[in-house]
């Protein structure tokens, strides 16, 4: 019985499922810095200059039927690896979702957009979620909709995020 108890004390949680956890006395910080660094190295952008945003705000991505074709496997690989980040990085959720729509027939413009997300990550490797232990328990929700702005099928996109006090607890993006 005594041995079993000793084995169950594993110490403070610092790393789980690719997520780094730093627990302090009054708060907890979670991020995916290690995964992000490995991702940037895997796609050869660890020495590139950083982008200020994950996606250009003035342009809307579409099918780009006249654009130059791109390597489908390489594009899908980037998108697949990026999909592991939005759970802790809501700032890139929308951009990854847009890139994910073009996996069937990616063009050069889509590949450039996916690479821009990687370049944005270059400048924001250490970004994560900060949870304070003594914040309030007020539930606050924000939502947004862009009515029929998708050039491909004229559907709307809606986004929401919910906070419990100062803590982000959930979010989603839906067409």
Tens-place pLDDT, residues 20-72: 888 888 888 888 889 899 999 999 998 889 999 888 876 667 778 787 888 88
pLDDT digits (tens, 9 = 90+) for 101-125: 888 889 898 999 999 999 999 999 8
The reported pTM is: 0.70
Of 60, 120, 56, 61, the C-alpha closest to 85 is 120
71 lies in the same domain as 11: yes
126 lies in the same domain as 54: yes
pLDDT digits (tens, 9 = 90+) for 97-106: 888 888 888 9
Q: Do the beta carbons of residue 101 and residue 152 sit within 8 Å?
A: yes
130 lies in the same domain as 48: yes
Q: In this model, does residue 9 exceed pLDDT 70?
A: no
Q: How many domains does the chain have?
A: 2
> What residue numbers bound the domain in which 168 lies?
137-175
18 lies in the same domain as 81: yes
């Amino acid at each position: 019985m005594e041995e079993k108890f000793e084995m169950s004390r594993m110490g403070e949680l610092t790393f789980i499922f690719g997520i780094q956890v730093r627990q302090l006395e009054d708060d907890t910080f979670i991020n995916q810095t290690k995964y992000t660094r490995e991702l940037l190295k895997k796609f050869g952008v660890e020495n590139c200059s950083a982008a200020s945003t994950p996606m250009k705000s003035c342009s809307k991505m579409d099918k780009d039927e006249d654009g130059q074709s791109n390597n489908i496997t390489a594009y899908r690989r980037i998108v697949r690896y990026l999909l592991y980040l939005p759970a802790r990085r809501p700032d890139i959720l929308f951009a990854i979702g847009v890139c994910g729509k073009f996996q069937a027939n990616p063009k050069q413009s889509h590949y450039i957009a996916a690479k821009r997300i990687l370049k944005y990550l270059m400048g924001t490797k250490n970004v994560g979620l900060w949870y304070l232990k003594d914040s309030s328990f007020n539930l606050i929700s924000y939502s947004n909709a862009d009515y029929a702005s998708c050039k491909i099928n004229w559907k709307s996109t809606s986004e929401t995020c919910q906070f419990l006090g100062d803590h982000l607890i959930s979010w989603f993006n839906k067409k």
